[in-house]
Chains A and B, each alone.
Chain A
Amino acid sequence: MGRPVSRRHSIAEAAHGGRGLSASVMLAGDPRRRRKEARVRGFLFAAAAATVLVGVAIVLALIGEAWNFVTQVEFSKLWSLGWFPRRDFFDVRTIVLGTIIIAGIAMVVATPLGLGAAIYLSEYASPRTRRILKPIVEILAGIPSVVLGYFALTWISPNVVQRLFTANTFNMAAAGIGVGVLVTPLVAAVTEDALRAVPVSLREASYGLGARRGETVRKVVLPAAVSGIVAALILGVSRAIGETMVVAMAAGATGGSLLQLNPLEPGQTMTAAMTALAIGSDQVAGSGLAFQSLFFVGLLLFAMTLILNVIGDRFVRRVREKY
């Protein structure tokens, strides 16, 4: 009996470089390894903590200045004829509605185009076509927004909006369409990933039951990918809300805007309003509450995106088909 045991010991010793470890120490593992693991863990924790701290700091700064604004502003100014922060008119409706109008127009453009492109690429295109088209979509996603702003102002506005309606050269519709074009590749790319993540076995099951391609897409692939599709649309809306350049260039109203619901007229979004304010910061600093209003609008934006994400999350959890 004794010999096999001692032989096992010697194998263990050999495995540990002959440092004479007994079998019970083997269970404890190599202390150097464990120390290294602890260091890695510490580093990763520090990284995570830093991220959280920076986030919290930003939100606190935002809330602090926004609070200054809210406590100092005259409430009648928050509900006046327009958004002219340097003249102490802070009609929040103007820029919130402007944001909603432009993001809405953008999604009216980007949803059908983006989903259509994604469904085509993932379900209909041959592998060869996809190999050519997919990178093009991804390149489109990288177009600088200045380019699209210019395009919206000089092409979409005269050739689309003004051809169909009598509209101001600077108008929210052109800006919205421009933002929509900007957001489309993003929506398409994220949706396509979601569709491609649906297992082939589900498509096979559907075809095996005598479903046509359209039926398979509608009844199997899209429902299975719904959480990804909603995520794509939410990303699209967030991007549309956050987009500044196209709006600043094509929607006009750089200094401020009257409350305006007509998309054929110039308008202002929250981000564009912030940019307009931030240009020439001496003036911002000099004129009353204009500087603080930046933070207030920022906080509002933050809240909007947060609510959007929560709604999206709820929706996804309710309708998701897990696979």
Chain B
Amino acid sequence: MTAAETRPDPESVGAAATPQRQGREEVVFHLDGLSVHYGEFPAVKGVGLDVRRNEITALIGPSGCGKSTVLRSLNRMNDLIEIAKVSGLVEYHGVDLYGPAVDPVEVRRQIGMVFQKPNPFPKSIYDNVAFGPRIAKTDDDLDGLVEQSLRRAVLWDEVRDKLDQSAYALSGGQQQRLCIARAIATSPDVLLMDEPCSALDPIATLRIEELMVELKSDYSIVIVTHNMQQAARVSDRTAFFTVDESVTGHRTGILVEFDQTGKIFTNPSNPKTEDYITGRFG
């Protein structure tokens, strides 16, 4: 299955589809009863939520509640951790992401990831962006693709004269935008971002936030953040997780509430959400 087949043209969907049909087609990820165990212990369990096309979905909650774990189960990064076991349903455009025929490598080509700490390769700026396309052999016009990706990540003007310099010469905020450009260069369908601003200063954070809002016209974005203002500023929907302590003292993450961001922040249905939002907890 190629990206072109699975990804309907946004304009045609918006114009032609009936609301119900549109609603169904817009779902990128459908999670139901998702649990992830590390060894014996469940890190997070019973998560159900839908991620929609061209939206920013934020995962918030106190540290250790399993936000990263849920995020990493969306592009099968958890496969890399030997003791991690995913159960429950994760559907990507209606396809079971953990089905027997699914190749995790193909999954990660369509679902890009940006990590908490900027992690450019110790290579040139150009080679960083070109990494994905070279591997996927989609590099007929590599120069054009690199430029376009850097432009999309609003980094082009700052690096156009030093593409062959090491990525490590860039500032933290620039490095993170480079990582976003690198993820974009493989033309993914979804961008997963795990606290992409936590290592950045406020100005760099603002730039990344602006960038996310700009990118959502082309991508669906899932972002983990423990900065509630950030979730409120950029996201369309918010999932609030918390930690449930069992009688044996083991802590397991659970999804408390998932709704439109406006609703979560102004009129949450669950009192726990309200406590967290208003800073009475966490």
CB-defined contacts of B80 to chain A, threshold 8 Å: 203-204, 207
Q: A210 to B132, Cβ gap below 8 A?
A: yes
CB pair B108–A207 under 8 Å, yes or no, is yes
Mask: chain A, 197-227; 1 = CB below 8 Å from B; 0 = not:
0010111111111111001000110011000
Q: Is A165 an interface residue (CB 8 A)?
A: no
Separation of A323 and B118 alpha carbons in the complex (Å): 12
Shortest C-beta distance, A212 to chain B (Å), equals: 5
**CB <8 Å contact, B82 and A126:** yes
- Is B100 engaged at the interface, CB distance under 8 Å to the other chain? no
Answer whether A201 and B122 are a contact pair too, CB < 8 Å, given A207-B80, A207-B108. no
Tell whether B183 is near chain A: CB-to-CB under 8 Å: yes
Known contacts A205-B179, A208-B108, A208-B112: A215-B119 contact under CB 8 Å: no
- Judge if A255 is at the interface, Cβ distance under 8 Å: no
Size of the A side of the interface (Cβ < 8 Å), in residues, is: 23
B186 partner residues in chain A, CB cutoff 8 A: 209-210
Our pick among A127, A207, A212, A323 for the contact of B82 (Cβ within 8 Å) is A127
Which residues from chain B contact A223 at a C-beta distance below 8 Å?
122-123
Q: Which residue of B lies closest to A201 (CB)?
A: B119
- CB < 8 Å: which of A201, A210, A219, A323 contacts B115? A201
Q: In the complex, what distance in Å separates the CA atom of A219 from the CA atom of B132?
A: 11
C-alpha spacing A160/B166, complex, angstroms: 48
Please state if B105 and A204 are interface contacts (CB–CB under 8 Å): no
B183 partner residues in chain A, CB cutoff 8 A: 208-209
Interface size class of B (residues with CB under 8 A): 20 to 34
Query: In the complex, what distance in Å separates the CA atom of A310 from the CA atom of B71?
Result: 48
In the assembled complex, which residues on chain B have CB atoms less than 8 Å from the CB atom of A201? 115, 117, 119
B112 A209 Cβ-Cβ under 8 A: yes
Residues of B near A209 (CB, < 8 A) are 108-109, 112, 131-132, 135, 182-183, 186
Per-position contact with A for B180-214: 1 when CB-CB < 8 Å, else 0?
A: 00110010000000000000000000000000000
Residues of B within 8 Å of A210, CB to CB, are: 105-106, 108-109, 132, 135-136, 186
Q: Given A126-B82, A210-B105, does the pair A205, B168 have CB atoms closer than 8 Å?
A: no
B113 and A208 form a contact (CB under 8 A): yes
Is B77 in contact with chain A by the CB < 8 A criterion?
yes
Complexed CA–CA distance, A205 and B179 (Å): 9
User: What residues on A are CB-neighbors of B106 within 8 Å?
Assistant: 210
The interface residues of chain A lying within 8 Å CB-to-CB of B77 are 204, 207-208
| B75 within 8 A of partner (CB) | yes
* Residues of chain B from 94 to 142 with CB closer than 8 A to chain A in the complex: 105-106, 108-109, 112-113, 115, 117, 119-123, 131-132, 135-136
A322 within 8 A of B: yes
CB A58 to nearest CB in B, in angstroms, measures: 39
CA distance A322 to B106 in the complex (A): 29
Contact A206-B131, Cβ < 8 Å, known A201-B117, A321-B123: yes
Bound-complex Cα distance A285 to B80 (A) = 65
Bound CA–CA A205/B131 (angstroms): 10
Residues of A contacting B132 in the complex (Cβ-Cβ under 8 angstroms):
209-210
Contact residues in A for B113 (Cβ distance below 8 Å):
204, 208
B108 touches A219 (CB 8 A): no
Contact present for A205 and B75 (CB under 8 Å): no
Q: Shortest Cβ distance from B174 into chain A, in angstroms?
A: 16
Query: Does the CB pair B108–A321 fall under 8 Å?
Result: no
Q: CA of A206 to CA of B115 in the docked complex: distance in angstroms?
A: 12
Closest Cβ neighbor of B80 among chain A residues: A207
Nearest CB in chain B to that of A203: its residue: B80
Q: CB-nearest residue of chain A relative to B114? A: A208
CB closest chain-B residue, reference A216: B135
- 23 A-B pairs within 8 Å (CB atoms) are namely A126-B82, A199-B119, A201-B115, A201-B117, A201-B119, A203-B80, A204-B77, A204-B113, A204-B119, A205-B182, A208-B75, A209-B108, A209-B131, A210-B109, A210-B135, A210-B136, A219-B131, A219-B135, A223-B122, A224-B122, A321-B123, A322-B166, A323-B168
- Chain A positions within 8 Å of B, measured between CB atoms, are 126-127, 199, 201-212, 215, 219-220, 223-224, 321-323
Closest 3 CB pairs of A and B: A210-B109, A321-B122, A208-B113
20 new A-B contacts, CB < 8 A, other than A205-B182, A210-B132, A321-B122, are A127-B82, A199-B119, A201-B115, A201-B117, A202-B119, A202-B121, A202-B122, A203-B80, A205-B115, A205-B179, A207-B108, A209-B131, A209-B182, A210-B106, A211-B105, A211-B131, A211-B135, A212-B105, A223-B122, A224-B122
